[in-house]
Amino acid sequence: MFTHNRRSLNLNGTWKFCPDPMQRCRRQKWWKGEPDPNNIFPSWQPEGLWDIQVPGTWKTQFEQLRWYDGHAVYMKDFTLPPVPLEHEVFLCFDGVVYSSEVFLNGQLLVQHDWGYSPFQVRITDFLARHNRLFVLVDNSLKVDRVPGEIFDWNNDGGIINPVQVIILPPVYIRNFRTTTRLADDQAHISVDIELESRNQTAQEEVVVRLPELGLAGRTVVKSSTTSEVTFTIPRSKITLWSPETPRLYRTELVTRHETIADDIGYREIKTRDGEIILNGEPVRLYGVCTHAEFPATGRTATSTGVATVIQQARDLGVNFLRCAHYPYPEIWGRALDRAGILWWQEVPAYWLFNMYEPAQTRLACGMLEETIRRDGNRAGLIIWSVSNECCYRNPENHAENNYPYWFKAVELVRRLDPSRLITCAEAGNMVAGKPTWQPADGDGFDRPPQSIPQWRPMHTDEFYQLFDILAANLYVNHPGEAAEVYRRFVTIFARYGKPLMLSEFGHISLTQTDIPPDQLGSPIRHAKMLSEAYKVFAELPEIVGYAPWLLTDTRSPLQWRWYNQGKAMKRHGLIDEYGRRKLAFDAVRNGIATLKAGLATKPAAGTGTAVAEQVRVDFSASAGASGKHIRQLQ
């Protein structure tokens, strides 16, 4: 649902809260009413709950809950201004982690089974003048969730994104989506409009206006259907959105009941002959990976925090962010549009080998659909990623894989948003001629460097043909290994004719400089390995995207080696948790600058010197196991 700048009541601010590990709220049904003050049960009163700020996570607001995963209770009293007759009222969450049950005035409104993505629920029939809202949140780690019980970031629970109530007319525009197609010297802009009303026979004339371009068109839309308005304009009359020209145009949709508007950049993204094409021209993605994490607020984004990330990205010289590993709040996409930064968005199908199960597929596809419907008009968003490192783990049974999920997720994205590219961070999962991994190895995915010449694709041709971009997470363990690894990647995958991308690469370090340069954790070693990677990329024009892991050190309760310093901090960042830049930051900045200058004189992607081997893979030949890196650093 389109919620931006509609008539609304902001529910952000102070709520009542308590952790509820024994689920007393659910058992005693606190949402049914307050107890008699003279009775012991039910065991709660508003005065006994804590104050918490929404949006926010309990992990950064209460030191005693820093590592708490489990059930929690949120309560908010609010007074709604008078609602005009027959108008509709919706309660809108931009993201909760993880599952949530929402009660208003004693009635269950919705049970939302997954996290991170936005959702809305109609509350018109449950409202009073004075209202009490309960939200029961559960961020427990579970194998049957997406992400599951193991993932490499802190599981910040709570109502982490904004909450609002919006008031809509009886017949309202539920959503709209814009697309741009270029042909010859013309730009063709389509606006698809979705109308909604309880009256299924309702219809409404909708006028679409782009005032700055002098464009206006109209269509009649019936309830629960969509209709389209199209414009054709000479390319010379419109500034297409790009990192160099992040022009946004006010786009208005007007009915006799309301006017909604958004600032939208118009651009076309596609692939051709192994290249990514933006507005008809090849573009390389000079990027970096990010987590939506901030020192004071954790997973909750603030305007200041997002602005800091954008400035850091600009200082690096990047034009692209890989926003890992879950849907980001709405504030991110709008800020990146204004800044002129391309980005990819992902669902947290992460280290999961059970995504083929229908229940798991439902969770991930639910996140995808809700996020696509919210972010469909963000110009900088060019890539949807449906998974990260979710290859199968049983080399003895190839039926245990995630192909049913991948095919369903890609079909869903192409149906909902055919204007963007689709990928997953899986192309780096390759096997050697003689597999070295066995089930007893557990998380140990070390692959000896001498096996590199025998690497072959893990997946079938049908898998690689499914995606627009073949993205790989490829790490090396020691200096001097980058050239052979990345050349082998190109050799194997260039034959598919798809753009190739390094969606993760890098190493680890601290900011302190007294660590021996040949030791793991040394800032000199970290910078050297990144510099070596960019030198190799300059010789491999087939690779058109580069996203080192990671912009900033982040919390991860998996990380307990000496260089994590007892803080469970993931040390792959170019910047530490205090905002101090490591030597690796300059290595990436210099590598990007050199790459930009050098590749200007190189052949286009697909015309380089790497020779693609004719390797067709089927499962009868793939007796190997999944491997993430030459070495997975943990």
pLDDT digits (tens, 9 = 90+) for 499-525: 999 999 999 999 987 899 999 999 999
Say what angle helices 330-339 and 303-316 make with each other, to 10 degrees: 40
| pLDDT for the residue numbered 444 | 56
The radius of gyration of the chain from alpha carbons, rounded to an integer in Å, stands at 25
**Residue 367 predicted with pLDDT over 80:** yes
CATH dotted code for 272-599: 3.20.20.80
According to DSSP, the residues that pair with 179 across neighbouring strands are 190
Delimit the domains of the chain by residue range: 8-168, 171-257, 272-599
**Residue 624 predicted with pLDDT over 50:** no
Give percent of the chain above pLDDT 90.
81
Spatial contact of 422 and 459, defined as CB atoms under 8 Å apart: no
**Residue 439 predicted with pLDDT over 90:** no
**Residue 294 predicted with pLDDT over 50:** yes
**Residue 393 predicted with pLDDT over 90:** no
Model confidence at 622, pLDDT cuts 50, 70, 90, reads very low
Mean pLDDT for 449-460 is 80
**Residue 600 predicted with pLDDT over 80:** no
Model confidence at 458, pLDDT cuts 50, 70, 90, reads confident
What region, left, alpha or beta, does residue 340 occupy, with left being phi > 0 and alpha being psi -120 to 50 degrees? left
**Residue 286 predicted with pLDDT over 90:** yes
| pLDDT for the residue numbered 266 | 98
**3-state DSSP assignment of residue 494:** helix
Lowest mean pLDDT of 22-26, 382-386, 414-418, 555-559, name the range: 555-559
Give which of 436, 468, 463, 464 is closest to 449, Cα–Cα: 436
Mean pLDDT for 413-423 is 97
Mean pLDDT for 301-322 is 97
Q: Among 2.60.40.10, 2.40.30.10, 2.40.270.10, 3.40.50.300, what is the CATH number of 171-257? A: 2.60.40.10
Q: How far apart are CA 207 and CA 176, in angstroms?
A: 12
- Considering 19-23, 352-356, 474-478, the range whose residues carry the highest mean pLDDT is 19-23
More confident residue, 558 or 273: 273
**Residue 610 predicted with pLDDT over 50:** no
Q: How far apart are CA 230 and CA 238, in angstroms?
A: 15
Instruction: Specify the amino acid at residue 121.
Output: V
Q: What mean pLDDT is reported for the chain?
A: 90
**Residue 433 predicted with pLDDT over 80:** no
Q: How far apart are CA 415 and CA 403, in angstroms?
A: 18
HSE toward the beta carbon, residue 363, CA cutoff 13 A: 26
Model confidence at 434, pLDDT cuts 50, 70, 90, reads low
Give which of 241, 274, 150, 250 is closest to 634, Cα–Cα: 150
Give percent of the chain above pLDDT 70.
90
| pLDDT for the residue numbered 633 | 29
Model confidence at 360, pLDDT cuts 50, 70, 90, reads very high
The CATH class, in words, for 8-168 is mainly beta
Lowest mean pLDDT of 18-32, 43-57, 594-608, name the range: 594-608
